[in-house]
Structures are given as structure tokens and as C-alpha cells.
Structure 1
Amino acid sequence: MKKIALGLSTVALALAAANSQAGEVEVLHWWTSGSEATAINVLKKEMEDAGNTWKDFAVAGGGGESAMTVLKSRAIAGNPPAAAQIKGPTIQEWGDLGFLANIDDVAKAGHWDQILPPVVSKVMKYDGHYVAAPVNVHRVNWLWANPDVFRKAGASIPTTWDQFFVAADKIKKAGFTPLAHGGQAWQDATLFEAIALSEGTDFYKAAFIDLDDDAIKGPKMIDALTTFKKMRQYVDPGFSGRDWNVATSMVINGKAAMQVMGDWAKGEFTSAGKKPGIDYICVPAPGTSGQYTFNIDSMAMFQVDSEDTQKAQKDLARLILEPTFQEAFNLAKGSIPVRLGMPRDKFDTCADSSMDAFNAASASGDLLPSMAHGMSVNSMVQGAMFDVITNFFNTEDMTAEQAADKLSRAVKASL
């Protein structure tokens, strides 16, 4: 099933990776917005300073679907890049296919088992061996708000979904778009996931980690779907196909009041020179203050023949976990360092809040992998959920009960 999920033929396994130029490392990623480009350039510079050649292979698309399509075709052709941005269970799928390189020597020298939270290090290993380097930790369940729009509308920042709708009605009446949103499947899933999370940690685990059918088609899922569908009346008519960073700019520029999005959105505020607590507000998505859905970006290393490229790969893995990169990258990206014990003095209040919430949620059992961002389920299940969620959001006459039933059947079919 995993082989089907990746769409890779077994014939591809016999193909050797093409030789790269000496010391060159080709890196496939989907960090293409302004703040993301700034962040990835930090790593590019560090690699070049270490004497390596960086070959950038950026594929636009905030959810990474386009990048994964390109990666599959390159792997089938026997010419995968040296490193690729891969996340969550997908790392295991590529490991099963025999494409990933062992980087245990780098991890041992860098004490990765000690400097990484166990929930992170586990994801970076295949069959007990490190095959990927974690870059950062994103909190997904954030609400971003423009306080000036709220003031003009006479509305208050919501902490529950009921309060959200009260505020949204006032904002809409005042002539602003209440919710900045992009009509792409992964963005729909990000919004829906935050709503489902507010139904409780136990429900979230059952539905999006354990894939329990009773939870998927049960009353809490129907409640979440009902709330999600109600959101449709608070987005603007031009939302279809909009990229996430364009939606963020609507909040930055005062055209919209709120956006439910991971903290990569903060990178756009930072890039625009905006200050947290003054120009924008960052709070947990309504009803999820004690919970933390995480998205961990990582670079998986693919098997290559060239010894020079292998050395460059190891330099890449080593540099990713160095404090210098962890600080500079995450300051630009909006995320928090994945390395434990990092100084906080250069990070803003949103990042500080995220670090505190990460630690607290880890201790309480409320630290949860994001379904919408490929951390909790494999690509087949995620795709099945995406199809139902986005179809429901855009189909006026589909009921929440019908959508829950479709979700149940879609997940069963993908297992």
C-alpha cells in the first residue's frame, strides 16, 4: 500500500541515483514565499561557506503537493536530488522504498538524541537509523488578527468559535473580510483541523491519528464539520485558488481581520516589518489554547553515488542542527527551533508563546501531529481526507452528516 501511495514502481528501486558534481548538493523544497526564501537562503549561505555548491530546486506550492509529484518522477527516473523537504510518515514511505541515506554518523557526532525532543527524533529515523534532519517546529493551530480592523468593527478577538462568529458578523458589517483564506485543499484542511481540534484532544487522536471509524463519523466530527461549513460565508468571493501568503497579506494590509494558519504566516508579518502585539495579534485558534498541532519541516537525504556529494549531504545535515542556523532560519521562517535549549532573547512574543506552549503540551499529552500537514497520516489517507473536506466546503447542499459518512468511507478505502 505504501508503494501505491508514492506511485513508485518497484523497477525504480533498482535504478541508481545519478552522480552529482563534486561537492554539489541539490535541494528540493517548496519554500518560495518572501519570508521562506529569506529563510532557506540562510542555509544556502552556510553550505557555501562550508565549501559546498548549493543547487536550488524550488517547486512552488505551499502544501508541497507539486514538489512531491516532481520528486516521485525524479526518483522513478533514477535521478533523485541529494536532499528533499519531506515530512512525517512520508519519510517512512521513502525509507520502505530504499531511497534514503543513513546519516547516523552525523547524528551521533551532533548528539541528536540528546538535543531533539523524542517526538521529533522518532520521525527522523527509519528502521532505527537517522535518514532526515529536522529543521524547525511549526505550530499549526494559530489565529492571526489585525487589531486595527477589530477596533474599526467594534469586535473582540475570539477565544471560542461562537465568539468568532459574533466578531465575524460585526467585521463583515463594517465592510471588511472576516476570514482571509485561500481555496486550496491543504488550506481548507488546515482550517478544518483547527476546528476539529477544539472538539478535544481525545477526539483529535481518535479521528486523525488512530483513524477510528466511530470518531470519524460520530457527533463530534459532525459538529466540527457544521462549524467548518459556516466559515464559508465569511471568506471573500476571490478566495478560490489563492496562495496562503496572499491571504496573509490581506490581514497585513487591513483588508481582512483574521487568518487561521500555521506560524509560517508570521514570517510574512515579519518580512513586512510588522510587530506582534502592535500591528498584529497571534493567539491559539479558538478553543485550542492548551493544545499544539505541530508541523516539522525536515530534509531527508537520498542515496547518491558521489563521495563528494555524500560529504556535502552530511555537511547539510550537520549545519541544519547547529545553533547558528536554528536561530537565523526560524527567526525568518516564523517557526521555533527544533533544537532544545536554544536562547530565546532574539525571538518575539509569538515565538516565545509557541515555545512555552510546545513544552506544556508535550507534558500534558496535548502535543499532536498535524493531519493537514502530513504529520499524522500517510499520503493516501491525507489525500482522501483532503478530497472530502474541500468538496464539502464548496458544495452548498452537502450536509455535515453526509460529509462525515463520505469521510469514513474515503478513509476506509485508502487503508
Structure 2
Amino acid sequence: MKTLRTLFVATTALCATTAAFAADLEVTHWWTSGGEAAAVGELAKAFDARTDHHWVDGAIAGSGSTARPIMISRITGGDPMAATQFNHGRQAEELVEAGLMRDLTDIAEAGKWREVINPPSLLDACTVDGKVYCAPLNIHSWQWLWLSHKAYADAGVPVPTNWDEFVAAAPALEAAGIVPMAMGKQGWQQSGAFNVMMISLLPKEIFLQVYGDKDADVAAGADVARIFKAAADARAMASNSNVQDWNQATNLVITGKAGGQIMGDWAQGEFQVAEMTAGEDYTCLPGLGVNRTLQAGGDAFYFPVLKDAETTAAQGELAALLLDPEVQVAFNLKKGSLPVRGDVDLAAANDCMKKGLDILATGDAIPDFNQLVSSDTRVQIEDLFVEFFADASMTPEAAQERFAAIIADAD
């Protein structure tokens, strides 16, 4: 009995010690729509189940444009969270340069991230001076046109197969009381749609010359002028959309109140929550049905430098978990995005995910907009398109002139 009593006391002490070392890990992000919440729930469930720690959800309502300043202010103000979402690219570069973000190089090397992450540009976007500062989580691409089968059936016209057919069908939808194009009234959505048109309706080299090379002459040229004309068409088609958030616009497509929406593959999560089937209830057109080229952008998690040793250790466990094959599959199937690991089994992928995987497999992917321009340049472009889509009197020519000026001074 003495032995059993001793064993019981020792076991109780061990459990108490374990509980004392367990950390509550606050994780901030802007995933608040139905599909996004389901996806982030997979991360929280895996973290709580596989570690001795607890995921404390720090969702910030609104878009990344709303959330990022709050996240940055907390980190620079001395009240950092344990982990935070940013997009792949340059959004956190000043925080890294200021020494406020944790170096994850040892975790990346232990997990062989350089060998399994595809495309390699995603890990490159996390790397500064040879050190890894973020954990890539998914691959999101903006270049998708989502189409409602119900809307086109109600209007008595075929579901479009490309951008030109989409524009041509707009009068029939309007006559049936259906909004041709759903679009929220936020700069990131509007500038995002413009960039999708640039990639999808022109050779991808034009996009790279404008945003990669910062070539103002190309930005002011005839090719980009075509895209501003397409943006004017989009402005007219979306003029009665009357929603603010991207998922509200997606819901118009889901319910057949709008014909289509230009939006990233995260929209797919909303269709899944609505129990709709790709190819039956809706159609997804990569590259607007014209150019099968995708941007390899997406989300990554950064880990602010903390003073507490236990929480710092828990950070490392989360960073490693994000690249776990099972977690990659569970999260991305709910999110509508593609895994950053090139070695996972996605047999459960739906029609739209398979289209994206096929394009990615060909290597026909280019860096994301956020990887090519600074946050300041991004905000200037977003502000321009807020004004352009709100003011029908702004001509495509006037908007292009301002755009070229921004590119001339871009960094």
C-alpha cells in the first residue's frame, strides 16, 4: 500500500507540474467567416489535442486591412500575442528588422521545411538574411471567378466559360433582377480584382514588370490600359452589389442573387459551409477562364519574441504543428486553399482544388502581389481603387495615370 500511495503522490505531482508548465497561447488572425472559422478550428483542435498547451483564439473581425494595424500596434507597443497571421510577403518585414519576431530557423531545419514546402518561394518569403521568421500554412490564389448556376439558369443564359462571356451575359442577368458581379466595397477586394484581371487577361510578364520591376512605363502603357477598361466593366457590373465584406458578396453568388464574383480560393470554404458542390451548384474558373496562371500567395504565422520561457517553448510546438501533414490536409480542405507541403495526400480535394493543384503542378505560378510591393505601396493602390469603384465619373485613363505614378514611386 505504501508503494501505491507513493506512486499516487508522485503521479499527482507530475500532473500538477505538467499543468503548471502548460501555456495558453493567444493566436491572432482575421479568419471570421463561416468557412474560415471552420478551418481555424482545425488548427485549434490539433494544437489542444497534440500538445500540453491551449489555443486561445484572438480572431479580429474584419479584413486583413483592419486586423494588421491592430496586430502591429500590439507587437510594437509591448503587448505581443504568442502567434499572429500575416500574408506571405513583406507585411511583417519591419517587425523582423526591429528584432521583434522570433527566429524559427532551428524548427524549419528540424522539420526539413526547405525540402517539403512547394513552391520554394513561400519559404523564401519567410526568410530574411538566411534566417526563417515565419511558418507558411497554405497557398491562396486570387485568380478565380466564382459563378452561380442558379443565377444563370434564372436569367436563361449559359454559365460563362471565360471573362468575355461573363461580361456579355451581364445584360441578361440585369434584366432578370440579378446583380451581374458581386463585390464588396473595400479597397483590398477592388485592387485584388484588378490584379486578377492583369494576370488573367494579359501575359504574366506584364504583371511582373509592373509590380516586380516597378516599371512605370509599362504601368502607363496600352496593355495595362486594357485592364483599366476591364475594371470599368467590372465597376458597372458591380454597381448594385451593395455589400461590404467579401463573404457577403460570396453569399450573393451562393444564393443566386449575383452571377459571379472575382475572389480568392478562400471563397470555396463558404460554398462548402453552404453544402454546395463544385461543378453542380457553382463553377470556378481559374485565371478567369483565360490564363491558367495562379499567384502562390497565402498565409503564414509569425511568432513575436516573448520573455516567458514556457510560452516560447509552446510557440515552437505550434510552428512545427502547422507543417504537420495531417494538419495541413485538415485545415486546407476547410479553408479552400492548397497545402504548402508538396507531399500530402489530397484525395478528398474537390473539383476546384484539383484545378488549382493541376496548375501548381505545372509550375505555372508567380509570386503574390504582397511579396512584390511594400505595405505602403499596397495601401496607395487600394485607396486608388476604392475611389475608382465609388466614383463612376473617374475615367479609366485618369485612374491609370494615377496608378502609373504610384508604381513610379513604389518600393
Cross-structure match for 2:69:
69
Tell me, yes or no, if structure 1 residue 133 matches structure 2 residue 135. yes
Cross-structure match for 1:286:
288
Cross-structure match for 2:57:
56
The one-letter code matched in structure 2 to 1:210 is D
The one-letter code matched in structure 2 to 1:249 is N
C-alpha change, 1:236 and 1:381, in structure 2 (3 Å) is closer
C-alpha change, 1:123 and 1:225, in structure 2 (3 Å) is same
Q: Tell me the secondary structure at the aligned position of residue 78 of structure 2.
A: coil
Tell me, yes or no, if structure 1 residue 176 matches structure 2 residue 174. no
Cross-structure match for 2:213:
210
Report how far residue 351 of structure 1 moved.
Answer: 0.7
Cross-structure match for 1:9:
none
Cross-structure match for 1:114:
115
Tell me, yes or no, if structure 1 residue 389 matches structure 2 residue 385. yes
The one-letter code matched in structure 2 to 1:51 is D
Report how far residue 401 of structure 1 moved.
Answer: 1.8
The one-letter code matched in structure 2 to 1:35 is G
- CA distance, structure 2, for counterparts of residue 232 and residue 408 of structure 1: 20
C-alpha change, 1:193 and 1:157, in structure 2 (3 Å) is farther
- CA distance, structure 1, for counterparts of residue 137 and residue 327 of structure 2: 9
The one-letter code matched in structure 2 to 1:195 is M
CA deviations on 1:356-397 (whole Å, 9 max, x unpaired) are 11121x2xxx412332xx232110111111111221222222
CA deviations on 1:20-62 (whole Å, 9 max, x unpaired) are x952221110001111111111111121121112222111123
The one-letter code matched in structure 1 to 2:66 is S
Q: Is the 8 A contact 1:186 1:386 kept in 2?
A: yes
Q: Is the 8 A contact 1:196 1:204 kept in 2?
A: yes
Report how far residue 159 of structure 1 moved.
Answer: 4.0
Report how far residue 413 of structure 1 moved.
Answer: 4.2
Cross-structure match for 2:18:
none
Cross-structure match for 1:3:
none
The one-letter code matched in structure 2 to 1:101 is R
Report how far residue 327 of structure 1 moved.
Answer: 0.7
C-alpha change, 1:202 and 1:159, in structure 2 (3 Å) is farther
Cross-structure match for 2:15:
none
Q: Is the 8 A contact 1:196 1:221 kept in 2?
A: yes
Cross-structure match for 1:37:
37
The one-letter code matched in structure 1 to 2:105 is D
C-alpha change, 1:238 and 1:110, in structure 2 (3 Å) is same
Q: Tell me the secondary structure at the aligned position of residue 263 of structure 1.
A: coil
Report how far residue 212 of structure 1 moved.
Answer: 0.7
Cross-structure match for 1:18:
none
Runs of at least 5 residues in structure 2 that lack an aligned partner in the other structure = 1-20
The one-letter code matched in structure 1 to 2:396 is A
Cross-structure match for 1:369:
367
Length-normalised TM-score, structure 1: 0.89
Cross-structure match for 1:8:
none
Equivalent pairs: percent with the same residue?
Answer: 33
Q: Is the 8 A contact 1:194 1:288 kept in 2?
A: no
Report how far residue 274 of structure 1 moved.
Answer: 0.8
Tell me, yes or no, if structure 1 residue 408 matches structure 2 residue 409. no
Report how far residue 298 of structure 1 moved.
Answer: 0.5
The size of the alignment, in residue pairs, is 387
Q: Is the 8 A contact 1:22 1:306 kept in 2?
A: no
Cross-structure match for 1:165:
167
- CA distance, structure 1, for counterparts of residue 81 and residue 290 of structure 2: 38
- CA distance, structure 1, for counterparts of residue 393 and residue 237 of structure 2: 18
Cross-structure match for 2:9:
none
Q: Tell me the secondary structure at the aligned position of residue 328 of structure 2.
A: helix
Based on CA coordinates, which of the two structures has the bigger radius of gyration?
2
Tell me, yes or no, if structure 1 residue 24 matches structure 2 residue 27. no
Alignment of 1:232-251 (within 5 A): 232-239=235-242, 242-251=244-253
- CA distance, structure 2, for counterparts of residue 226 and residue 42 of structure 1: 42
Tell me, yes or no, if structure 1 residue 78 matches structure 2 residue 74. no
The one-letter code matched in structure 2 to 1:98 is G
Report how far residue 188 of structure 1 moved.
Answer: 0.4
Q: Is the 8 A contact 2:214 2:410 kept in 1?
A: no
Report how far residue 287 of structure 1 moved.
Answer: 5.2
Alignment of 1:298-337 (within 5 A): 298-337=300-339
The one-letter code matched in structure 1 to 2:82 is A
Root mean square deviation, CA, Å: 1.7
The one-letter code matched in structure 2 to 1:71 is M
Cross-structure match for 1:188:
190
Q: Is the 8 A contact 1:91 1:126 kept in 2?
A: no
Q: Tell me the secondary structure at the aligned position of residue 277 of structure 1.
A: coil
Q: Is the 8 A contact 2:211 2:407 kept in 1?
A: no
- CA distance, structure 2, for counterparts of residue 208 and residue 411 of structure 1: 7
The one-letter code matched in structure 2 to 1:225 is F
Report how far residue 236 of structure 1 moved.
Answer: 4.9
CA deviations on 1:73-110 (whole Å, 9 max, x unpaired) are 21232121111111211233321121111112211121
Report how far residue 330 of structure 1 moved.
Answer: 0.6
Tell me, yes or no, if structure 1 residue 380 matches structure 2 residue 376. yes
Report how far residue 112 of structure 1 moved.
Answer: 0.5
Cross-structure match for 1:10:
none
Report how far residue 285 of structure 1 moved.
Answer: 3.8
Q: Which moved more, 1:158-167 or 1:251-260?
A: 158-167
Alignment of 1:140-159 (within 5 A): 140-159=142-161
Cross-structure match for 1:228:
231
Report how far residue 275 of structure 1 moved.
Answer: 0.8
- CA distance, structure 1, for counterparts of residue 290 and residue 378 of structure 2: 22
Report how far residue 174 of structure 1 moved.
Answer: 2.1
The one-letter code matched in structure 1 to 2:81 is P
Report how far residue 329 of structure 1 moved.
Answer: 0.4
Cross-structure match for 2:202:
199
